[in-house]
Amino acid sequence: MNPDDPYCFLVTPFAEDQGWLLARKEGINPATRRFGFPAYRIDEIPAADAVVDATRRHIANADFVIADLSGARPNCYYEVGYAHALGRPVIHIIRADEQPQFNVAGLRFVTYRNPDHLRRELERHILTHVLTTHGPGDDPDDNKGRFGRRSFVDPYVVTGRVRSDPSAGTGTLRFLIDLRVRSVDRKKPVRGRVTFHMYGDFETRKQWVDVPKGDRAGAYLTGIPTLGTFTVGVTLGHPPVNLEIDLSSLPGAGTEFRNR
């Protein structure tokens, strides 16, 4: 597992229950990999620090979280609560014959009957609730809603990270954005020019990356300075494919970033 690559953090009981194992193997894994996000539980991620610290760090760095609250395990509720506190996208799942605890019963849940049902429901929820931008594009210079609202259009996906700008002066809060466009199908790699459409206040509204033929890593655009969140549109390919990503949902996008 490379923590710099996009991934899903998996919250699930550690018991070797056959039902959970099948749900993971035939339901969760194929659903997340369909969109290019392998799923990892904390015991599957190498870490040198304490398990609680590693859990917090990898929840914060995950593109989204899937939490199986079947069995009402305390460790699962702790990890879900931490993900909520950080504002990370969480998909809650539970077996159809169980009920969540009262303190989360009002949240949206995917209830699953079997692994195949879970896979189909997860694919739908990942696409509509994680990989789709929501809300009106009320700023005339914003890109929200202008590039199809999807950060995944088969087989292409745009992902990113937010980090603090170490070069910002004392008392100045500034961020850097790293974006990546890649293909989840090795037979259809990203090729040619990939254009990133920025916010209206940017001096250069369009920035592009040319991907050489044979390069399967995709297109990277790194170190984009910004004071806060906005929506990025992406165009690539012939005929053109449009992608759209809301930066407020990215790993590293804390409260200060989302509110500016």
Q: Are 11 and 66 in contact (CB under 8 A)?
A: yes
- Which helix (H) or strand (E) segment holds residue 36: the answer is none
Buried/exposed 100-109: b ≥16 CB within 10 Å, e otherwise: beeebeeeeb
6-17: pLDDT as tens digits: 999 999 887 777
The percent of residues above 70 in pLDDT, for the chain, comes to: 98
Residue 171 confidence (pLDDT) = 63
* Distance between CA atoms of residues 257 and 223, nearest Å: 15
Confidence check: pLDDT of 137 > 90: no
Residue 14 confidence (pLDDT) = 79
The residues spanned by each domain of the chain are 8-130, 152-258
Confidence check: pLDDT of 50 > 90: no
Kindly state the DSSP code that residue 145 receives in the 8-state scheme.
T
Of the candidate ranges 41-50, 141-150, 157-166, 221-230, the one whose mean pLDDT is the lowest: 41-50
Please give the distance of CA 167 from its chain centroid, rounded to a whole number: 27
185-216: pLDDT as tens digits: 999 999 999 999 998 777 778 999 999 988 88
Confidence check: pLDDT of 236 > 80: yes
Q: Do domains 8-130 and 152-258 have the same CATH topology?
A: no
Q: Under CATH, which architecture does the 152-258 domain have? A: Sandwich (2.60)
CA distance between the termini of the chain: 33
CATH of domain 8-130: 3.40.50.450
Average pLDDT over the chain, rounded to an integer: 91
User: What confidence category does residue 53 fall into, taking pLDDT thresholds of 50, 70 and 90?
Assistant: very high
Query: What is the pLDDT averaged over residues 40-63?
Result: 90
- Which helix (H) or strand (E) segment holds residue 176: the answer is strand 175-183
Residue 170 confidence (pLDDT) = 64
Look up the pTM and report it. 0.93
User: What confidence category does residue 124 fall into, taking pLDDT thresholds of 50, 70 and 90?
Assistant: very high
